[in-house]
Structures are given as C-alpha cells and as structure tokens.
Structure 1
Amino acid sequence: MDKKVKRYYQLKQKQKETEQELTELRSEILNHCAEQDVTDLEVGSYKVKIIRQERKEYDDHKLYESLPDPEVWRMLSKPDSSKIASLIKLNVISEDRIRDTFSVKNITLLQVDKI
C-alpha cells in the first residue's frame, strides 16, 4: 500500500506541473494568435484553432423566482444550462420568463490538432 500511496502522490505532483505548463502554453498561444489577429493557424504539422463561445451563468435566486412552478425547480435542482435549454425547447418554461436570471460569460477555447 505504501508504494501505491507514494505513486499516487507522485502522479498528483506531476499532474499539477503538467496543468501549470498547459496553462502557460495556452496563454502564450492565445496571445500569439491575438497579436497576429488570427483564429486559425498552421504551425508545422499542427493546426491551431481559436473558438469563442458565450456561456450563460444562472443566478439561483433569480431563476427560482422566475419559474412558474416549484416542481420545475426540483427538475433542475441546480442551474444547468443544457437542462434549462431543454425545458425551454419543451415549452415547460419560456425564455422571456428567465431573461434576467443569467449573465453571459465569454470564453475562449483552444484546439490544437495534428495534421
């Protein structure tokens, strides 16, 4: 068991180092693309693609207050964008009714593929 615990600790340390390096490299790649004003880039045998998205972040209290029925809140249990989108699509709740319950967060995804 000692070896397993030791190996687990070593791997967790390595994971932290890897995540830190990934964060730094991601930042450098995004900065380079921003400086060049590009969203697609080929570097050697790799293709870099920058994808911008908007994500809704719901306010629990505002969302609860806007829902027509407490049963709907139980269906959600916790604000989940895909569940909320499904309820809107199924006409269980209307988009107008929850309009003021979320903020939009812009995120940038970095995708690197080998060509």
Structure 2
Amino acid sequence: MEKKVQQYYKLKAKLKEMEKELSELRQDILAYCTEKGEADSEIGGYRVKLITQNRKEYDDDKLFQTLSDPEVWRLLSKADPAKIASLSKLNIIDEGKIAHTYALKTVTLLQVDKK
C-alpha cells in the first residue's frame, strides 16, 4: 500500500506540473492568435481554434433576494449556473426576473486538433 500511496503522490505532483505547463502554453498560444487577429488557423500540422463563450457569474445575495421563495432556493442552495439554466428552461425561474443577478464573463476556449 505504501508504494501505491507513493505512486499516487508522484503522479499528483506530475499532474500539477503538467497543468502549469499547459496553462503557460495556452497563454502563449492565445497571445499569438490574438496578436495575429486569427481565431482559426493552421500552425504546422495542427489546427488551432479560439472559441469565445459568455458565462454567467451569479451574485448569491442578489439571487437569493430575488428568489426568496424557500422552495426554489432549496433547489439551488448555491448559485449553480447549470441548475439555474435548467430551472429557467423549465419555466420555474423567469429569466427576466433574475437578469440583474449575474454578470456575463467572456471566456476563450482553446481547441487544438491534429490535421
């Protein structure tokens, strides 16, 4: 068991290192594409795509004040964008009513595929 724990520790450390390196590479690639003004390009044998998304970041206090119905808040318990979107699609929550409770955050996703 000691060897398994040791191996687990080593792999977690490697994973942390790899995630750091991936983050740095991602930033470099994003900067390069932004500088070139390209959201879709081919670099070497790879296709690089930048995909922009808007994500809602809810303010728990504003949302709770707006959805003060304890039954609805119990379903959420915390502002979870996926749950809120589901409740909105089911018409349990009126999207217009909660429009002031979140801010849109633009996120750029990086997709790299081999040709």
Fold shared, TM-score > 0.5 on shorter chain: yes
* Cα distance in 1 between the residues matched to 2:73 and 2:7: 44
User: Matched residues, percent identical?
Assistant: 59
Q: Which residue of 2 aligns with 1:82?
A: 82
Cα deviations by residue, 1:66-115 (Å, 9 ceiling, x for unpaired): 01521011111221212212222222121121111111111111011112
* Cα distance in 1 between the residues matched to 2:82 and 2:10: 37
1:107 aligns with 2:107: yes
* Cα distance in 2 between the residues matched to 1:91 and 1:68: 16
- The 5 A counterparts of 1:1-115 are 1-67=1-67, 69-115=69-115
| Residue identity matched to 2:10 | Q
| Residue identity matched to 2:17 | E
* Cα distance in 1 between the residues matched to 2:22 and 2:45: 19
In the TM superposition, residue 61 of structure 1 has moved relative to its aligned partner by 1.2
Structure 1, 72-81 or 19-28: larger mean CA deviation: 72-81
* Cα distance in 1 between the residues matched to 2:94 and 2:10: 50
Q: TM-score with structure 2 length normalisation?
A: 0.92
* Cα distance in 2 between the residues matched to 1:89 and 1:14: 41
Count of residues in Structure 1 that have an aligned counterpart in Structure 2: 115
In the TM superposition, residue 16 of structure 1 has moved relative to its aligned partner by 1.3
* Cα distance in 2 between the residues matched to 1:80 and 1:6: 36
Superposition RMSD on alpha carbons, in Å? 1.2
Moved over 6 A (4+): none
* Cα distance in 2 between the residues matched to 1:3 and 1:69: 52
Unaligned ranges ≥5, structure 1: none
